[in-house]
Amino acid sequence: MAITTTRWHELADRIQGGGAIDATEALAVLDSSDAELMEVVAAASRLRFEHFGNKVKVNYLVNLKSGLCPEDCFYCSQRLGSTAGILRYTWLNTEEAVTAAKAGIAAGASRVCLVASGTGPSNREVGKVSDIIEAIKSDTPGVEVCACLGALKDGQAEKLCSSGADAYNHNLNTAESHYEEICSTHTYADREHTVSQAHGAGLSACSGFIAGMGETREQLVELAFDLRAKGVDSIPVNFLLPFDGTPLEGVDTLNPRDCLRILAMVRFVAPDTEIRMAAGRERHLGYLQGMGLYVANSLFLGDYLTSEGQPGGEDLQMIADAGLEILRMEDADGADGADGAGEIAEAAALVTAPAAPVAQEKKVAIRTRGAGTGEPANA
């Protein structure tokens, strides 16, 4: 039997009391009617506010190496054989990477995510990223740094941790039962292994997924429970960007209400885990992005790896309009930085005026600014 509208808050009560949602109930969240949607969001938001208050953690991506990947992930604009017109460049040097990171930090990001395409890094490349991490930490001691470099070899997670990395991201991307439908050059088990390596080395494990790749609702539930079982600390929820020139070009099955249901389902499954609205939120959530922040407690600011996000200033204003505050990193003295609309406005003033938002565009806007270019970052 489907859960009725009046029972969504009973579900939240049970979870707040130490209980857990089961798979049938999680599927019912995804199957809920539009008439129930506000109650679903309201119930899920109780869990979000219980564990994270009114804070939003702002993350900023730096694409250290774009394109040129030998993997064939069907959704990815950087995949082997992709004809998407994205930026393609080899490794940024340390100065370029630090400059890109500082753009996001200046706009309010408390975590910088260093990403490089490819199957996984060589030991030399891990050393290069370690140098970048140390330089960022030296410049801004309080900032968190998350690395995302693909599959890791033995000892590489430990090397990143010793250089000051706080977290490692390696998304599972889709359910194990669906994985062969989105990639043939590596397996779900390969991805699980890297998540385990990160945890084992003392790094915070960040792992999430991409919704809208032909998976069933049951597979979304399967994946959410698997992420919970792995004890990941943060879950980026991406919504498919159907890049031209990839096998999933033209696939566009999500609507804003479904995206809210997906966020809510993950919140019910993992009530105290950081949930991040990630790539595709502008396109698929559209004008409901602000509502998504009542369920998710984290987002990426500005542009993504190969696509443009909405202007960074609009992200900051959206947070303020929702009555929420940016989670600030501790300053060098160990004192908390100030929050609030005034500081948000100040950060927004630092953002270079970008192109129009992509929420209403039919095509994915390819990133042509920031890391790897001579153009200012959208931060």
d(CA 252, CA 200): 37
Tell me how far CA of residue 137 lies from CA of 110, 143, 163, 227, in angstroms: 12, 7, 9, 29
pTM of the model: 0.88
Report the range of poorest mean pLDDT among 5-9, 159-163, 231-235, 357-361: 357-361
Instruction: Specify the pLDDT at position 334.
Output: 39
pLDDT band at residue 329 under the 50/70/90 scheme = confident
Quote the tokens at residue 155: 């000892």
186-236 per-position pLDDT tens digit: 999 999 999 999 999 999 999 999 999 999 999 999 999 999 999 999 999
If one counts every other C-beta atom within 10 angstroms of the C-beta of residue 148, the result is 21
Mean pLDDT of 312-330: 93
Residue pair 206/178 in contact by the 8 Å Cβ criterion: no
Instruction: Specify the pLDDT at position 333.
Output: 35
Identity of the residue numbered 324: L
Q: Quick one: which H or E segment has residue 64?
A: strand 55-65
Instruction: Specify the pLDDT at position 4.
Output: 60
Residues 6+ apart with CB under 8 A from 215: 174, 175, 178, 223
Is it the case that residue 331 has pLDDT exceeding 60?
no
Residue pair 228/270 in contact by the 8 Å Cβ criterion: yes
CA 344 to chain CA mean position, Å: 21
Instruction: Specify the pLDDT at position 68.
Output: 87
d(CA 341, CA 322): 11
**Residue 110 DSSP class:** S
Mean pLDDT of 30-38: 96
Residue pair 11/268 in contact by the 8 Å Cβ criterion: yes
65-92 per-position pLDDT tens digit: 999 899 999 999 999 889 999 999 999 9
Instruction: Specify the pLDDT at position 368.
Output: 92
Is it the case that residue 361 has pLDDT exceeding 80?
no
d(CA 330, CA 162): 21
Instruction: Specify the pLDDT at position 362.
Output: 64
Nearest one of 374, 334, 377 to 353, comparing CA atoms: 377
Q: What percent of the chain has pLDDT over 70?
A: 90
95-111 per-position pLDDT tens digit: 999 999 999 999 999 99
Instruction: Specify the pLDDT at position 2.
Output: 56
Mean pLDDT of 244-270: 97
Instruction: Specify the pLDDT at position 205.
Output: 97
Instruction: Specify the pLDDT at position 6.
Output: 76
d(CA 184, CA 367): 27
112-166 per-position pLDDT tens digit: 999 999 999 999 999 999 999 999 999 999 999 999 999 999 999 999 999 999 9
Instruction: Specify the pLDDT at position 363.
Output: 82
pLDDT band at residue 3 under the 50/70/90 scheme = low
